[in-house]
């Protein structure tokens, strides 16, 4: 039997839309209907009320948990997120994403930069040809889609971060750097070492030895940048130190054999990238990376109480 190993994939789509507007004054504070009448007899009435109060009204965000085929990638075999998992995910997104960035960066930061649409999908999106699994997509800074929501287990923090919140921070950083580009010096650090077509064939050990925090980080420069931040934010001290330890050793291939010395000081490269990313967040957005990480780690200790 052939074993198939799926790597995790994040997709960011930069789209440009052109339109004309005769009167700027015609633009309202929201593109969504905040006065929509909800059906009190609906099984989702209380949840829909909560979504309006926590996402739509304060942040102008349409939280879509009832899967819309017109807004989904029809090339995948997908199923909707269940109501219980949608409720859990919505609460976690508010607590571990929106509230954290609002606390560290201010309410206006979230209002100005959060995506306008959050779309939940129940199933994973498998890419059998490349043997990858898409965990999330960000489309032009407007819409973020999260997959695999029905498999979420909130009490397993490591899995929660690996499959969902690393994705969230990854995609959110794409939105931010599309508005304010990261320093050009970052582009030079691993120039020539990216492999957009064969990144999935690299082991975690090999990627780390080359100065990437994940194999996917070695696919493209922009993915490298957001992977540095996303991993730093969600990895525990022990897990982050494991990456640094791997990066200081020669890389191993899929058979556990030591690869030829590439002359790269992986640990120094990763730490240099963290420093640049941290500086960019502070100078471009007035966001303290360490404060952001500390708040996330603190809140992860109280997830059980949040979902009771």
| pLDDT tens for each residue of 120-130 | 999 988 887 77
Across the range 67-79, mean pLDDT stands at: 74
pLDDT at residue 140, as a whole number: 75
- Give strand ranges (E) for the chain: 7-13, 62-64, 117-120, 125-127, 132-139, 143-146
Q: Are the beta carbons of 121 and 150 closer than 8 angstroms?
A: no
pLDDT at residue 127, as a whole number: 80
Cα of first residue to Cα of last residue in the chain, in angstroms, is 43
Q: Are the beta carbons of 85 and 106 closer than 8 angstroms?
A: no
Give me the residues paired with residue 64 across strands: 119
Q: In Å, what is the CA distance from 108 to each residue of 99, 200, 226?
A: 12, 38, 22
* Dist. CA 65–CA 121, nearest whole Å: 7
Residue 137, classified by CB atoms within 10 Å of its CB into exposed (0-12), middle (13-18) or buried (19+), is buried
Helix (H, G, I), strand (E, B) or coil at 11: strand
Across the range 94-105, mean pLDDT stands at: 96
pLDDT digits (tens, 9 = 90+) for 206-231: 999 999 999 999 999 999 999 999 99
Across the range 241-254, mean pLDDT stands at: 95
Torsion sign across C-alpha atoms 303, 301, 57, 120: negative
Quote the pTM value: 0.85
Across the range 160-189, mean pLDDT stands at: 94
Tracing tokens 């949040």 back to the chain, one arrives at 306
Provide the CA 302 distance to its chain's centre, in angstroms. Answer: 21
Residue of 154, 151, 131 whose CA lies nearest to 215: 131
The four Cα atoms 16, 18, 23, 25 give a dihedral, to 10 degrees, of: -10
* Dist. CA 42–CA 201, nearest whole Å: 48
Domains of the chain plus CATH, in order, are 7-14+45-306 (3.40.390.70)
Q: In Å, what is the CA distance from 38 to each residue of 34, 49, 92, 141?
A: 11, 8, 23, 28
Bridging pattern class, strands 7-13 and 143-146: unpaired
């Amino acid at each position: 039997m052939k074993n198939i190993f799926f790597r995790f994939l994040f997709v960011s789509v930069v789209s440009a839309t052109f339109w004309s507007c005769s009167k700027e004054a015609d633009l309202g504070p929201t593109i969504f209907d905040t006065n929509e009448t909800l059906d009190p007899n609906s099984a989702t009435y209380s949840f829909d009320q909560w979504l309006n109060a926590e996402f739509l009204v304060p942040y102008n965000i349409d939280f879509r948990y009832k899967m819309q085929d017109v807004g989904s990638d029809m090339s995948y075999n997908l199923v909707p997120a269940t109501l219980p998992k949608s409720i859990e995910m919505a609460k976690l997104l508010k607590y571990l994403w929106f509230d954290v960035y609002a606390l560290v960066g201010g309410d206006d930061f979230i209002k100005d930069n959060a995506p306008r649409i959050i779309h939940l999908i129940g199933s994973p999106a498998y890419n059998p040809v490349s043997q990858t699994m898409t965990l999330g997509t960000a489309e032009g800074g407007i819409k973020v889609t999260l997959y695999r929501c029905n498999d979420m287990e909130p009490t397993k923090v490591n899995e929660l971060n690996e499959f969902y919140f690393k994705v969230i921070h990854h995609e959110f950083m794409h939105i931010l750097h599309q508005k304010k580009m990261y320093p050009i010096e970052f582009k030079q650090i691993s120039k020539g070492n990216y492999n957009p077509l064969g990144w999935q064939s690299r082991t975690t050990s090999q990627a780390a030895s080359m100065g990437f925090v994940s194999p996917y980080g070695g696919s493209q420069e922009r993915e490298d940048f957001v992977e540095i931040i996303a991993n730093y934010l969600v990895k525990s001290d022990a897990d982050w130190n494991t990456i640094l330890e791997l990066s200081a050793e020669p890389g191993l291939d899929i058979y556990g054999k030591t690869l030829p010395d590439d002359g790269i000081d992986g640990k120094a490269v990763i730490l240099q990238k963290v420093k640049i990313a941290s500086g960019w967040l502070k100078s471009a957005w007035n966001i303290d990376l360490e404060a952001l990480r500390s708040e996330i780690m603190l809140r992860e200790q109280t997830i059980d109480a949040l979902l009771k």
